[in-house]
Structure 1
Amino acid sequence: MSTIVAPVSRTVPARTVAVPVPADPNPAGHGPLDVLGVPGQVNLDYAATAPCARAAADAVAELLPWYASVHRGAGALSRRCTLAYERARQQVGDFLGVRPDDHVVFTRNTTDALNLLARVLPPGGKVVTFASEHHANLLPWPVDTVRLPVPGSPGAAVRALDAALRELRRGTDGSAPILVAVTGASNVTGECWPIADLARAAHRHGARIVLDAAQLAPHAEVDISALAVDYVAVSGHKLYAPFGIGVLAGRADWLDAAPPYLAGGGATRTVGPATNDVDWADGPGRHEAGTPNLLGAVALAAVCEALTGADRPALYAREQALLAHLRTGLAATPDVVELRTFDADAPRVGIVSFVVAGRDSAQVAAELAQRWQIGLRDGLFCAHPLARRLLTEAGTRSGRPDLPPTALRASIGLGSTTRQVDRLLAALAALG
């Protein structure tokens, strides 16, 4: 399934509400994909950390009485926990469409997963990425990483990557390892990247590609096999599964050839008396030293299972309608300017960044929280090079010289409603 999704619908009319609309009560539901929340609080900050899904909470509550060691005990509790942990690995792998010989390594989050991949990059390996990436996909890589400029369109991204890889291969035998590191959906704009096309360009030049799917996976299907990417990194806390879990899934050879990301118990077959007398394990356990995050793995697997059993196209269509309503309402609100990298109609997930001309973004966020109980993100969203560039471009495009140096971001997901979006639009219209 391609990660370029249908363009945002423009059929939802603009709607500016004169007075604040009461927030939805949002009681804790009983369906697996209902999300937990606090009545009266409007959470429009899913891109930072999504709320906990009922599936994750129930799975953890069921396992807690049995909580014990994983891979380290013969008792009934330990055996059950070991089975739950490895079953979670299988369920997450199925959700991501891994190939039979891929590894699924549990990490802390996407940042941890990409740092792991940076550590196992073979000697002499080169990395190519874009300046539009989240810091998690900029900072872990070697200092000589090729950082391509922010592209103006999905097609321009593919052409820039193809040209860069051709230049890197020029005059060589083509055997040096190259890794392309790209996002699936921008955490600043929500815009989707042409992952399948970028993967084809990478493989055409003998390079591998890792997909940062932290923002894409909560909104659309991510299938490693169908996209033909080599690695995928995701975060549980953005996939409605808290408890500090992440995943790096993909090709086994680099992972099995490199020293462990963390050295310790569980990462070895045997340890001898000499300092360097260590036989490291193969497989995911090589990079999962120490007591694993059982509850996080089980929570993430439960959400993956619930999403797999859900009508994903219907969930996606509902989100797209709500996103269109949000963007149309923002466009109709005086002094609000949206940030974007691609064309206004480029496919995107439920993330919108914007500014209120003449107003400091941090102050606006604080006022929305205090007066209307609305939670947004403000700042540069851990993507400083991209956010600063888009703020400059937004000023030029809008002709407004009074845009603030940071932005606001509204992001939606499974628990978001039209009433919540209308409450935000009403509050922005009522700013003094």
Structure 2
Amino acid sequence: MAETRPEIDGERLLGDLEALARIGATPQGGVNRIAFSPADLEARQWVEEAMRAAGMEVHRDPAGNTIGTYPGREPGLAPIALGSHTDTVPNGGRYDGALGVIAALASVRALHAAGQRLRHPVEVINFVAEEATMGGGTFGSRAMAGLFDPASIHHEAVDGRPVAEHLRSAGIDPEAVATAARPAGSLAAYVELHIEQGGVLDKAGVPVGVVEGIVGIRRYTAVFEGEANHAGTTPMDGRRDALVMAAPFVLAVREIAVAHGIVGTVGTLRVSPGASNVIPGRVELTAEIRGLDEATLDAAEAALQARAEADGAAFARISAKEPVVSDPAVVAAVETACRDLGLAYRRMPSGAGHDAMCMAAITRQGMIFVPSRRGISHSPEEYTAPEDCVTGARVLLGTLLALDAALDSTGEG
């Protein structure tokens, strides 16, 4: 007799989302669960209790990540991990991160309710401090993936206090965080369900995004040196206005991004001396580009540099994060799940960073997106329709089942 296929309990999943949203709820309808705050710790405890009720063994690693393990049938197989995070930005939304954790929990609960175990163990991970409130983002997943910089515990958190102080208040030894690192191959795969946080799926009316990868991000400075002078007495033909020099480059960032099929933004503009009656003598701006293909980013960067220098600027790269491409086996499993469920989907990049980006250092990884209404996120107005939340969880469970069947004892597809 064939086993009954496990099914997501949609009503319970939505109830769990609502229960979690009440922890740290704000008057504006959002959620305030900044990492290591009382609300964050309460939410993490809530998740741990729900994990145990779903048949999981639960522990916290030295970085504070919560890991629930549902045993598998075949000894020696590495776990397949599902997860995300439950911390938020200040006055954020109720879906960012939380949906991924609740859906992962719902997937294991479906197995438990059906009395089934997979070949692989299943881990549900609630990463700690994913949002950039602790001197940078993806704190817990960086620690797990062996990417943690011990010096970062001395950085300032969002409230100005050292990160180490927040860790100690949460019962975490700052000096032990790096020992949370897990070796490559210790997980068979990692899959993360997340709201898109953009408007592509919502605008297209497509219920599922299959994430091809997480974009690389490169940031630059461009400095334009002019000559400060009196705004009233200096003729127009005798001016060296640094802001006028910078203006064509600001427009060029957009033009170059469009031409290369990526996104580009000028995010800061510092005009000196910054007085209404003084011609700007110096302008320093920061620009960034994001894309999934390194060669494309190289070409766009070369075009930006050429344009900046032609406009008289000193141009320099200040940071670069490489793109992280989703593992083909995980992408194939997500697409299999969508087809089995009769769901339309589209392949797309993630324009934002996520815990999956870090996990790529130690395991195959992939992500599933569901629509964000009007593309709004990190806001009390963040919203994903109930049916889309349930659909995402069903795809996550289907992906888990497909990976469990597809990966052999060595973790290869």
Normalised to the residue count of structure 2, the TM-score between the two structures is 0.23
* Bigger Rg over Cα: 2
More strand by share: 2
Normalised to the residue count of structure 1, the TM-score between the two structures is 0.22
Higher RCO (Cα < 8 Å, 6 or more apart): 1
